[in-house]
Amino acid sequence: MKIKGGRSYIRVEIEKGKEIVIHGELTMTPEFYADFDSIKKWEPPFDKETITTEDKKSLALRIMSESKDTSVPVIFEDLADTSI
């Protein structure tokens, strides 16, 4: 998984070149607070694939887990208390 982005979004690439853009806010801490509801669709050519609520939750938990020991951890506030 590769995570890159800016002050108001992250672009997450998972296996097979699938990418998704997730909106949020980079704080001075630094931490990126991601908006769970902005997980809507994959970037082309995978944009026709449906993302279920369970897919969203799984992806968000994976992003939090893989970024927790980086210089800018990604946090989904709605899922912050969920064990990762």
Residue range 50-67: mean pLDDT, rounded: 96
| Cα distance from N-terminal residue to C-terminal residue, the chain | 16
* Local confidence band at 79 (pLDDT 50, 70, 90 cut-offs): confident
How many whole angstroms separate alpha carbon 41 and alpha carbon 71? Answer: 27
Q: Is residue 22 a part of any domain in this protein? A: yes
Q: Is residue 42 a part of any domain in this protein? A: yes
Count: domains in the chain: 1
pLDDT (0 to 100) of residue 35: 97
Look at the pTM and tell me if it is higher than 0.95.
no
Q: Is residue 37 a part of any domain in this protein? A: yes
What is the 8-class DSSP label of residue 14? -
- Domain of residue 23: give its range: 2-79
Q: Is residue 69 a part of any domain in this protein? A: yes
pLDDT (0 to 100) of residue 81: 67
Residue range 11-29: mean pLDDT, rounded: 95
Half-sphere exposure of 30 (CA within 13 A, CB side): 9
pLDDT (0 to 100) of residue 78: 78
Encoded tokens for 13: 């690439």
Q: Is residue 84 a part of any domain in this protein? A: no
Encoded tokens for 75: 């946090």
